[in-house]
Amino acid sequence: MPQCIVVTSGKGGVGKTTTSANLGCGLALAGYRVAMIDGDIGLRNLDLILGLENRIVYDLVQVIEGECKLKQALIRDKRVEGLYLLPAAQTRDKNAVKPDDMKRLIGELKETFDFVIVDCPAGIEQGFKNSIVGADRAIIVTTPEVSAIRDADRIVGLVEAHELPEPELIINRYRGGMVARGDMMNKDDILEILAIPLIGMVPDHEDVIISANKGQPAVFDEASVVGAAYRRITQRVLGEDVPMPNFDRQDEIGFLATMKRWMGLAAREAV
Amino acid sequence: MSLFDRIERLMGAQPKSKNDAKQRLKLVLLHDQCDISPKRLEEMREEIVAVMQKYVEIDREAIDFKLHKENGKIALVSTVGVNRVNSRQVA
């Protein structure tokens, strides 16, 4: 059955767009037909992360206002079969779209696609409401930082208020070295606070920036640890039981590691 | 705490900051969820203490007044130190 997944977080800059792009590409690589919607009207970025920014002709607002057909606005990603992007408008504001419009649009997309991925904007206002209204399932992205977790908790409440099933959590930018030193909340600390099921963890790694620079999501890169993390997330989204690797680096704990850090011998956070 | 942790601490290492993060988060989320500000909670505390003082002499240094969350339910848990029970009932 077709499914619409909204990727949300509350706080900005935690990796919603990167997650949406990688999940969308991951699902397409697994053989599904996927439509990705950039829900961030006025501040679109999913096109850039996917490397499709030069191919935009029409956008979501134009589809809703009837200026073009849905099919015309969908950009086909040539890297993988069955992957499409519906870009956001860049010069309009988010009030140009109403929740009912989004619901109708997503319903239409679900007739031809297996998955519709909505990249939700930051915040809890109109853009959030538009993004969540057509969703069957919500994925919340957070980082191990107090501000991101607080906002994620707020989103958990709002998702439940929209009568969606319990949202699933992705912990992004996890730094094993800091966790090992006790300077970053670990997986269990975060799950204790947010109390929703974990669907994936992504290490804080330079691959994320490099793949954004290129417009090529890490999930395409077989050698990337970030890509591997997103491939596992994709499998879990599809219902497979994939074990969570341990990102907590034990080698950085203890007296010797501290001495090394002081002397500048240890790598400053390679992961 | 392992021996190495002790040595690290003796040598001036900072206590683990993640514990601060967790504690502060838990508290702020409780306040967010009950929609009560720390200031309002403080006002409530003062008012309750004022009522109690009519009956007992309170050790103001020993008041613990916190919101707790257990099994998804929020509870107000308080421990109040009492120096002396006022023997005469106040009208």
With cut-offs at 50, 70 and 90, classify the pLDDT of residue A167.
very high
**Is residue B90 in a domain?**
no
CA quadruple A25, A28, A33, A38: dihedral, nearest 10 = 0
Q: How far apart are CA A219 and CA B16, in angstroms?
A: 34
Q: Looking at chain A, which residue has its C-alpha nearest residue B33?
A: A154
Global pTM value: 0.83
For chain B, how many structural domains are there in total?
A: 1
The CA–CA distances, whole Å, from A134 to A39, A40, A108 equal 12, 15, 11
Chain A positions in Cβ-Cβ contact with residue B29 (cut-off 8 Å): 150, 153, 193
Q: How many helices (H) and strands (E) does chain B have?
A: 3, 2
B69/A contact by beta carbon, under 8 A: no
CB atoms within 10 A of CB A177: 23
Q: How far is CA A181 from the centre of its chain?
A: 28
Nearest by CB to residue A150, choosing from B7, B8, B28, is: B28
Contact between A182 and B18 using a beta-carbon 8 Å cutoff: yes
Write out pLDDT tens, residues B3-39: 666 666 666 666 789 999 999 999 888 888 887 777 8
Enclosing domain of residue B19: 3-85
Q: What's the pLDDT band for A154 if we cut at 50, 70, 90? A: very high
Residue B50 lies in a domain: yes
**Of B22, B28, B32, which has the smallest distance from its Cβ to A185's Cβ?**
B22
Give the DSSP letter of residue B11. Answer: T
Phi and psi based region of residue B32 (left: phi greater than 0; alpha: psi -120 to 50; beta: remaining): alpha
Which pLDDT score is estimated for A254?
56
- Confirm whether B17 is domain-assigned: yes
Q: How confident is the model at residue A116 (pLDDT cuts 50, 70, 90)?
A: very high
CA-CA distance, B51 to B65, in Å (whole number)? 15
Q: How is residue B70 written in tokens?
A: 């257990």
Q: Is the pLDDT of residue A92 over 70?
A: yes
- Is residue A144 within 8 A of residue A190, CB to CB? The reply is yes
- Ordered by where they begin, the domains of chain A are 3-262 (3.40.50.300)
Bridge-based pairing of strands A168-174 and A137-142 is: parallel
B21 contact residues in A (CB cutoff 8 A):
145-146, 185, 189
Q: Which of B22, B32, B71 to mutate to test the interface with A (most CBs of A within 10 A)?
A: B22
**What's the CA gap between A208 and A28, in Å, rounded?**
19
| pLDDT confidence tier of residue A94, bands split at 50, 70 and 90 | confident
Check residue A32 and give its pLDDT: 98
Tell me the percentage of chain B whose pLDDT exceeds 90: 12
Partners of A157 on chain B (C-beta within 8 Å) are 33
Shortest distance, CA A19 to any CA of chain B (angstroms): 25
Alpha-carbon gap: B22 to the closest alpha carbon of chain A (Å): 7
Residues of chain B with C-beta less than 8 angstroms from the C-beta of A192: 22
Residues 32-51 of B with CB under 8 A from A: 32-33
Candidates B16, B25, B32; nearest CB to A182: B16
Query: Is the CB of residue A40 less than 8 Å from the CB of residue A121?
Result: yes
User: CA A26, CA A220: separation in Å to the nearest integer?
Assistant: 8
Complex confidence, ipTM: 0.77
Chains A & B: contacts with CB separation below 8 Å: 47
Note the pLDDT of residue A258: 62
In terms of CA atoms, which chain B residue is nearest residue A191? B22
Cβ of residue B84 closer than 8 Å to a chain A Cβ: no
Best B9, B14, B18 residue to mutate vs chain A (most A CBs within 10 Å): B18
> What residues are paired with A170 via a beta bridge?
A141, A200
How far apart are the C-alpha atoms of A181 and A159, rounded to whole Å? 34
Amino acid identity of A130? N
